[in-house]
Amino acid sequence: SGALPTRAWRLARAAAADGEDGDAAKQKKRQLRLEMTQELVAAMPDLKAEDLEVGQIVKGISRQPMTFGQIVSLGKGLRGLLPFIEATDNGWMKKPFRAGLEREFRVLAKTTALGADFPVLLTARSGDLTRPPSMFEDMLFASPQELVGTEQDLSAFAGIAPETWLEATVVNTAVPRGPRPARVVVTLTAPGGSKQIAQGIPEKALLPDLSKGPIVFGSKLKVRVVEVDIKKSRLKLTMLEKTLKETKE
């Protein structure tokens, strides 16, 4: 499973020796890894979701990461989704698996909730496979919010006092992307209404023991709203009694 990145690295070094360096060499390396990953997937056996059973151990090849999970090829034409909260036993993943690496996963569920492209949900966690029934629908609801910032009506949060505590439900974790840190993805209900919204809580805004301990789908967190950005459809949430900014004030 380590042959792919090693080969890509050597070819990229060869490209650099031919006069390509810096961004050009990096781009060459990415392109080579993509091509070799496609070759590996093309050599995989034909497999359908109906061939798999929940709990079954399967081999998959890591593909491109998304904000909320990683695509995994399980066979020709069959892809699964590994939510980042299911990637490690503690629910935290600092960076995605390298594309092209083969490793073992367990089939967590077969579902239509995430669309026809991802009929299989995977886990790399050990232990029991029982998850709350709402898991897939909640992930589907929260994922577009994290990916494209789908507009949400946050007006009900605009006047809420910063000392007011609300209950949030953990639905996933997200790896760092660019300037955005690792975070827990939660859903919470707007005050006085039943409308759910999805938001990410940066790791540093979580309680220290929680940010180091296991994160589990469905966990209930007590959070405060410290900032509302209606234009960007984003809440700034924290579990801390006082943020650094509030302490300075």
- The pLDDT value given to residue 162: 87
Answer yes or no: is pLDDT of 109 > 80: yes
Q: Which long-range contacts (CB under 8 A, 24 or more apart) does 106-110 make?
A: 106/55, 106/56, 106/57, 106/58, 107/52, 107/53, 107/54, 107/55, 107/56, 107/58, 107/80, 108/54, 109/54, 109/135, 109/136, 110/49, 110/52, 110/54
Q: Domain range holding 27?
A: 3-41
Give 172: exposed, middle or buried? Use CB within 10 Å, 0-12, 13-18, 19+: buried
CB 63 within 8 A of CB 79: yes
pLDDT in tens, 205-234: 888 888 778 889 998 999 999 899 888 888
CB 20 within 8 A of CB 11: no
Helix axes 3-17, 23-42, angle to 10 degrees: 140
Domain count for the chain, please give it. 3
- The pLDDT value given to residue 104: 95
Cα torsion for 49, 52, 54, 57, to the nearest 10°?
-120
Answer yes or no: is pLDDT of 180 > 70: yes
**Which CATH number fits the domain that encloses residue 200?**
2.40.50.140
pLDDT band at residue 123 using 50, 70 and 90 as cut-offs: very high
| Nearest C-alpha neighbor of 185 from the set 165, 103, 177 | 177
- Which of 128, 148, 165 is a domain's end point? 128
One domain, residues 31 and 57: no
Question: What average pLDDT does the segment 48-72 reach?
Answer: 91
- Which of 108, 128, 148 is a domain's end point? 128
Give 243: exposed, middle or buried? Use CB within 10 Å, 0-12, 13-18, 19+: middle
Question: What average pLDDT does the segment 116-131 reach?
Answer: 91
- Which of 79, 96, 128 is a domain's end point? 128
Question: What average pLDDT does the segment 190-203 reach?
Answer: 81
One domain, residues 64 and 142: no
- The pLDDT value given to residue 12: 56
One domain, residues 105 and 82: yes
Instruction: Report residue 114 as tokens.
Output: 């995430």
One domain, residues 31 and 122: no
pLDDT in tens, 137-153: 888 778 766 554 567 88
pLDDT band at residue 2 using 50, 70 and 90 as cut-offs: very low
One domain, residues 75 and 142: no
One domain, residues 211 and 149: yes
pLDDT band at residue 1 using 50, 70 and 90 as cut-offs: very low
One domain, residues 166 and 120: no
Handedness of CA 10, 12, 15, 21 (dihedral sign): negative
One domain, residues 141 and 235: yes
The single residue listed with the structure tokens 């993509």 is 34
One domain, residues 150 and 241: yes
SS3 94: coil
- The pLDDT value given to residue 154: 86
One domain, residues 149 and 243: yes
- Helix residue ranges per DSSP H, the chain: 3-17, 23-42, 135-148, 208-212, 244-248
Q: Residue 198: CB partners within 8 Å, gap ≥ 6?
A: 141, 142, 145, 146, 152, 171, 185, 186, 187
Whole-number Å distance between alpha carbons of 126 and 147 = 28
Answer yes or no: is pLDDT of 136 > 60: yes
Average pLDDT, the chain: 83
- The pLDDT value given to residue 100: 86
